[in-house]
Chains A and B, each alone.
Chain A
Amino acid sequence: MSIWEYANPRKFLRTSERVMPALWVSSALLMAVGLVWGFFFTPDDFRQGSTVKIIFLHVPAALMAINAWFMMLVASLIWVIRRHHVSALAARAAAPVGIVMTLIALATGAIWGQPMWGTWWAWDPRLTSFLVLFLFYLGYIALWEAIDDPDTAADLTAILCLVGTVFAVLSRYAVNFWNQGLHQGASLSLDKKENVADAFSNPLYICMIGFGLFFIAMVFYRTGTEIRARRIKALLARERQGESA
């Protein structure tokens, strides 16, 4: 069995429909458990008070915002190199999920920043690169919508995705190599001293896995929709050809 078998739309649809129920249920369950645990059963932080509970939304959303872009990059490269339509459609399907994750990360960050930093927004390296990533998502979605020919749209959006990757990397690592700005370092680290306390990290890990599975389920479902929408276009074109012949 090879991964390239899933370049066949029928095979992709059959397999994704088989695994999707398990993905939906497990992601909903893990997100619910993680968020309920984080919201109801974690203590206040000695500095941040109850605003620390926002971490259970902000961190998983930011993580998925960046990872969604990397998934789009891989799918776009597969399209560019091997010309598999399913991979181009998967990249297209992931973009709206990625932009919502980016929006959640930006919104929860701003809501948290107001009482903690005294401002909704600062032109800090990580915040700014995240805002640029959001704009890249907007541009990516707009480009797909603007071009009629799906192959041309896939080519051009793949190039845009490649350029936007710079900002996806920046938003992930800006806090490490720019020693300035308001945003603190990573919440989760292999260094025990830098890591958040276990009381927060356990529900946080559950939320992160839940958000990850939610992303996969959404991308499978949306890719299926894109495959069907493409088939409708092809069938209509064939019908028109038949009428004119």
Chain B
Amino acid sequence: MMPDLGKYSDTVLAAYGASIILLALLVGMTLWRGRRVRREMDALEQRMRRDG
């Protein structure tokens, strides 16, 4: 299944590996912060409604 990358296999795999790690970090951090902020806002709105 793996294509024969010849003498440049390290180069190609390093480029794909680095890019996938960077994209995964970006998506992971974005979703993590998004969920945290949404939870915080919901909790705050609920508290303010309860307290009038």
Q: Which residues of A contact B (CB under 8 A)?
A: 35, 39-40, 44, 49-51, 53-54, 57-58, 61, 96-97, 100, 103-104, 107-108, 111-112, 114-115, 218, 221-222, 224-225, 228-229, 231-232, 235-236, 239
CB distance from A232 to the nearest CB of B (A): 5
Between A and B, 30 residue pairs with Cβ closer than 8 Å are A39-B3, A50-B4, A50-B12, A51-B8, A51-B11, A53-B16, A54-B11, A54-B15, A57-B15, A57-B16, A57-B19, A58-B15, A96-B30, A100-B22, A100-B23, A104-B19, A107-B15, A107-B18, A108-B19, A111-B15, A111-B18, A112-B11, A112-B15, A114-B11, A115-B11, A221-B31, A224-B34, A225-B30, A225-B37, A231-B41
| Main SS class of interface, B | helix
* A96 touches which of B16, B19, B26 (Cβ 8 Å): B26
The answer to whether A100 and B26 have CB atoms under 8 Å apart is yes
**Given A51-B8, A111-B11, A239-B48, is A39 in contact with B16 using a C-beta cutoff of 8 Å?**
yes
User: How would residues 3 to 35 of chain B score, 1 for a CB under 8 Å from any chain A CB and 0 otherwise?
Assistant: 111111101101110110011011101110110
- Asked if residues A218 and B19 are in contact (CB atoms below 8 Å), the reply is no
Q: How large is the interface on B (under 10, 10 to 19, 20 to 34, 35 or more residues)?
A: 20 to 34
Task: With CB as the reference atom, state the residue of chain A lying closest to B3.
Answer: A40
Residue in contact with A232 in the complex, picked from B6, B26, B44, CB distance below 8 Å: B44
From B6, B19, B48, name the one whose CB has the most chain A CB atoms within 10 angstroms.
B19
Which residues on A sit within 8 Å (CB–CB) of B16?
Answer: 35, 39, 53-54, 57
Q: Which residues of B contact A35 (CB under 8 A)?
A: 16
Which chain B residues border A44 with CB–CB below 8 Å?
6
Q: Could you say which of A51, A61, A229 contacts B12, with CB atoms under 8 Å apart?
A: A51
Which B residues lie within 8 Å of A61 (CB)? Answer: 19
Measured CA separation A53–B22 after assembly (Å): 18
> A111 near B8 (CB under 8 angstroms)?
no
B8 touches A104 (CB 8 A): no
Given A218-B26, A225-B37, is A236 in contact with B19 using a C-beta cutoff of 8 Å?
no
A35 to B15, CA, bound (A): 12
